[in-house]
A and B are shown apart, each in its own frame.
Chain A
Amino acid sequence: MADFLLSSVSKTYKPGLFKKPVQAVNDLSLNVSHGTVYGLVGPNGAGKSTTIRLLLGLIRPDSGSILFSGKLLKESTVQSEIGYLPENPYLYDHLTLAELLNFCGQTSALSISDTHERGQVLMAKLNLLEVQKRPLRTFSKGMLQRAGICFALLHDPSVVILDEPMSGLDPIGRKMVFDLIVELKQQGKTIFFCSHILNDVERLCDQIGLMNNGRLIKQFEREVFLQNIGKTVFLHTSILDESQQLNIQSLGGSIRREGEGHLLAIPDGNYYPVNSYLEESAIKILGCRSEWMSLEDLFIQSVKESGQ
């Protein structure tokens, strides 16, 4: 069953008098299945954060419907089941992290002992135990980001919405957060996240949606673009002429143009005949790769195709 089902959702902002309305989300339909990690990527202003606000009920769609676990979305129905981390979380300056987590526990109807126990576990995972009694205004950007993650996860939500979770984190912080997301994934939680760091999206997501100008321009499973089902060898060669391309394709290889040459995908069983042909034809091999098309390639190609 889908945790979130959006059908033809549109949202237009009215910035003010005499200003042109901005269509932030346009006819968006997407399906976030239970237990999956859904990554929404897109350029700045694509409508990703607006989509998250729609899912949280902070704004209402002009048209279309949003279902949460099969029921029409209402703020009160989702809050207890969702953990949310906004991009650049602004937390209360004069509170300590421990006080912030106590607040979260109280509002989420957790007992004092549960709040303390879960808080300690999360803070330990995100290396915040030593600073839990310090005012949040003294935290660095990365520490605030990690504190925001603790706040989002304290009540053990079944759905986690993360808006740029790696933003402002150093490599160690990124690793901590990455491991935490992997752990949440293993626990079977549904994770919906937006990120500009495509490498993280590639590594974490089961489903990926590409958004541009408020529209979902492409949606696919992770394996589709990786072509990693079965064993495949990817070789980067010099430019091939048409007859060479036809010959390689007849031997079972796939070809696409990339940069100053071509990229070949050769299934394991067809490797030797293709390799012999490359040697006979004196085709220069420039290198090898681990994937058919990176998310970055696909992202740029899709944005170009959609008219930007």
Chain B
Amino acid sequence: MKSIFALATITFKEGIRNRSLFGIALLALFLFGLNITVAGFFMRDIGKVTVDMNLSALSFAGLLLVFFVGVNLMAKDIDRKTIHLVLSKPISRAQYIWGKFFGIQLFVTVSLLLLLVLSSLTVLLLLQMYPAYFVGFSWSIFYIAAFFILVKFSVLAAIVVFFSSITSSSLITLIFSLSSYVAGVTIEEVVFYLQSEFAVQEKIISESLKIFIDIVSYIIPNFTVFDFTLEAAHGLAIAGNRIFLSLGYGTIYISILLMLASFIFARREFN
């Protein structure tokens, strides 16, 4: 446990001191500023647009954090052979996987928390400026939605760790992780479409393709289960079981991925 903690700590420090972080923070600040500037154009929808833009900015910043910094925190170790040095210490390969994941997770959490503070200030400012257009807005739902953005990027961090455990190149890890993300945010729509009547009318969709998509939908992470932007923007209450199911899905998915990564990593050779 001490080794996992030590590894997580240095991974976090490596991430948080990366200069790309300033660029990502600046971009998020720009989006928050843009929100304040253009909010007045939306009249009665100011509240909805503000929440939507803030959560989208957080989500975009999180995506950049994982892909521009998170990927390098493990893949670069293998790429540059720093792993030879690390594994020469009394650290098992499974401990390395978990340590790296917790380090990336901690880095994403701290970075998103800082951005969430700025985001909350933006929402608070607009709330003070246009209180009449924030009917139904709830801070608790806003924070639940923000929390699930973090859960989404925890799953993505586990995907990054999983692909880093298989390949030696940070570029390949990035491509595979990005593909998984794109597939993950669209898979639910594809499945719903195939189950709809429109798909039945489309005779070009073969049965084998439907079976293939069905199988793939169980493997690829469904990122839409972590999306509560709509509820936060409209102030709709979120059922407790949905929170529980989404959180459970994320936790189980992360655990399975990390166990698989540990299994593969333990058998890997480092030339």
* Chain A partners chain B: yes
Question: Which A residues are within 8 Å of any B CB, using their own CB?
Answer: 13, 50, 53, 56, 58-60, 75-76, 79-80, 82-84, 86, 89-95, 99-100, 102-104, 106-109, 135, 148, 151-152, 155
Instruction: Give the top 10 A-B pairs by smallest Cβ distance, nearest first.
Output: A106-B6, A84-B88, A94-B17, A90-B80, A79-B90, A59-B269, A107-B89, A58-B270, A80-B90, A90-B82
Extra 19 A-B pairs, beta carbons < 8 Å, given A79-B91, A82-B88, A106-B2: A53-B270, A53-B271, A76-B92, A79-B90, A83-B88, A86-B81, A90-B81, A91-B82, A91-B85, A92-B82, A94-B18, A99-B10, A102-B6, A103-B6, A104-B89, A106-B5, A109-B90, A152-B88, A155-B89
Q: Output the least CB separation between A158 and chain B (Å).
A: 14
Q: Is B210 an interface residue (CB 8 A)?
A: no
Least Cβ–Cβ distance between A186 and chain B, in angstroms = 24
Q: Interface size (B, Cβ < 8 Å)?
A: 26
Question: Which of chain B's residues have a CB closer than 8 A to the CB of A102?
Answer: 6
Shortest distance from the beta carbon of A152 to any chain B beta carbon, whole Å = 8
B9 CB contact (under 8 Å) in A53, A103, A148: A103
Q: Within the complex, what minimum Cβ distance (angstroms) separates A192 from chain B?
A: 13
Residues from chain A with a CB closer than 8 A to the CB of B18 are 94
Q: State how many angstroms separate the Cβ of A79 from the closest Cβ of chain B.
A: 4
Most buried by B among A13, A83, A90: A90
Are A107's CB and B81's CB within 8 A?
A: no
Residue of B nearest to A86 (CB): B84
Q: B13 at interface (Cβ–Cβ under 8 A)?
A: yes
When A53-B270, A84-B84, A91-B82 are in contact, do A107 and B3 touch as well, CB less than 8 Å? yes
A53-B271, A94-B18, A151-B85 known; A107 vs B13 contact (CB < 8 Å): no
The CA-CA distance from A91 to B14 in the complex, in Å, is: 11
Q: Are B13 and A99 in contact (CB under 8 A)?
A: yes
Residues of B within 8 A of A135 (CB): 17
- Interface presence of B87 (CB below 8 A): yes
Which residues of the other chain, A, contact B92 by a CB distance below 8 angstroms? 75-76
A157 to chain B: closest CB distance in Å?
9
- CA A135 to CA B89, docked complex, whole Å: 21
In the complex, A81 Cα to B81 Cα: how many Å?
21
Q: Which of A56, A60, A89, A92 has the most CB of B within 10 A?
A: A92
In the complex, A89→B84 CA distance in Å? 9
Inter-subunit contact B2/A107 (CB<8 Å): yes
Contact (Cβ within 8 A) B89 A79: yes
Q: Are A107 and B6 neighbours in the complex by a CB distance under 8 Å?
A: yes
How far does the Cβ of B261 sit from chain A's closest Cβ, in whole Å? 17
Chain A residue with Cβ nearest B92: A76
Measured CB to CB, the closest approach of chain A to B150, in angstroms, equals 23
Residues of B within 8 A of A86 (CB): 81, 84-85
On chain B, the residues within 8 Å of A109 by CB distance are 2, 90
| Nearest Cβ on chain A to B271's Cβ, whole angstroms | 6
CA distance A83 to B87 in the complex (A): 11
Residues on A with C-beta less than 8 A from B3 are: 106-107
Provide the bound-state CA to CA distance between A106 and B95, in Å.
13
* B250-271 with Cβ < 8 A to chain A: 269-271
> What CA separation (Å) do A84 and B91 show in the bound complex?
14
A49 to chain B minimum Cβ distance, whole angstroms, is 9
Q: Mind listing 21 A-B residue pairs with CB under 8 Å?
A: A50-B271, A56-B84, A56-B87, A58-B270, A75-B93, A79-B87, A83-B88, A84-B84, A84-B85, A86-B84, A90-B80, A93-B14, A102-B6, A103-B6, A103-B9, A104-B89, A106-B5, A106-B6, A107-B6, A107-B89, A135-B17
Are B271 and A76 touching (Cβ within 8 A)? no
List chain A residues, Cβ under 8 A from B82: 89-92
A109 CA to B9 CA, complexed, in Å: 16
A155, B91: Cα distance in complex, Å = 14
Complex CA gap A167/B271 in Å reads: 20
What's the least CB distance linking A44 to chain B, in Å? 16
| Least distance between A133 CB and chain B CB atoms (Å) | 13
B window 65-107: CB within 8 A of A: 80-82, 84-85, 87-93
Residues of A within 8 A of B270 (CB): 53, 58-59
B14 touches A79 (CB 8 A): no
Q: B85 to chain A: which residues have CB within 8 Å?
A: 84, 86, 89-91, 148, 151
The CA-CA distance from A76 to B96 in the complex, in Å, is: 13
Bound together, the chains give a CA A154 to CA B160 distance in angstroms of 32
**Docked pose: A95 CA to B13 CA in angstroms:** 7
Give the CA-CA distance A77 to B174 in the complex, in Å.
34
